[in-house]
Amino acid sequence: MAHESRFEANAEGYARFRPRYPDSLIDVVVGLIEGVAAPAGAPVLDVGSGTGIFARQLAERLPADLRVIGVEPARAMREQAFAAGGPPNLAFCDGAAEALPADIAGVRAVTAATAAHWFDAPRFFAEAERVLCPGGVLVIAEYVRAVETSPAARALEQFLAEEGGPKAYVRPDYAEALAGLAGFADPGIWTEDVEYALSVDAYVGLALSSSHARPVVARLGQGAAEEALAAIGRRLADAGGTIAYGYRFQLFWAHRTESG
Ligand SMILES: C[S@@+](CC[C@H](N)C(=O)[O-])C[C@H]1O[C@@H](n2cnc3c(N)ncnc32)[C@H](O)[C@@H]1O
């Protein structure tokens, strides 16, 4: 399945059920961005911006004269992003990680939030190097199911593996990739575990917003997939109907060398 159609199908559930990034993570990214000595007006590019969750949080936290431009290839995701609105320093455009808009250059930061595992990494890194100003920062953010500490996350991972087969992507080792990346220096990482209290409906909605749920729905049908997930959710819920669900949030970054 092409990534455009995969994400066209997911857009509404994604906008509704995916979490915001923790303020602590946004604070770290804002600190990295504000630490770049870029010319005034140099924007931030958020690649694979989807429904705009991360780009919107960044734009809200950065100074109002610092623009955040979300680059997103899937039209349905861009439509959700436009519909959700945001501050005036936030914009979205069509484009892909491997071919960022040709007229964009001299940006202070390139970010990719829970998106870079879909990219052709060498081509994305080459594009990031092209568009970043000297000293500019490349930041990869992501959240992954905390399968080691959260039974609810582990149960979902198991269900998707059993019913949906292998994932459509292999998650890169970003720490290793950025540490050895030509044209970049000063790599760093940051991690935080967050637990959410979900209703059974939210657990099902979150599960179905995963790209890995597409083959499950194709095989079982929407109704049976929902019922199977709801049954898992009811088993995991406490007496009040709440499920403790864990995500691990991670950041990886490196700075474009001054010499370019
Ligand atoms: C899991 S969503 C993340 C969206 C958003 N960054 C967030 O944090 O909520 C991944 C997004 O990456 C986009 N994507 C997939 N392949 C891409 C590529 N090659 N270039 C740019 N975006 C891509 C998808 O269309 C999707 O909107």
80 Cα–ligand 1 center, Å = 13
**Ligand 1 close to Cβ of residue 115 (< 6 A):** yes
Helix (H), strand (E) at residue 170: none
Enter the pTM of the model. 0.91
Helix (H), strand (E) at residue 134: strand 132-145
How does the average pLDDT of the chain come out, rounded? 93
Strands 44-47 and 68-71: parallel
49 Cα–ligand 1 center, Å = 6
- pLDDT single digits (tens) 208-219: 998 889 999 999
- pLDDT single digits (tens) 13-65: 877 888 899 999 999 999 999 999 999 999 999 999 999 999 999 999 999 99
- pLDDT single digits (tens) 223-256: 999 999 999 999 999 999 999 999 999 999 999 9
Q: What is the pLDDT of residue 211?
A: 85
> In the 3-class helix/strand/coil scheme, how is 212-232 assigned residue by residue?
CHHHHHHHHCHHHHHHHHHHH
Burial class (CB in 10 A: 0-12, 13-18, 19+), 61: middle
240 Cα–ligand 1 center, Å = 35
Percentage of residues in the chain having pLDDT higher than 90: 85
Is residue 1's pLDDT more than 50? no
**Ligand 1 close to Cβ of residue 53 (< 6 A):** yes
Please tell me the residue having the least CA distance from ligand 1 atom 4. Answer: 50
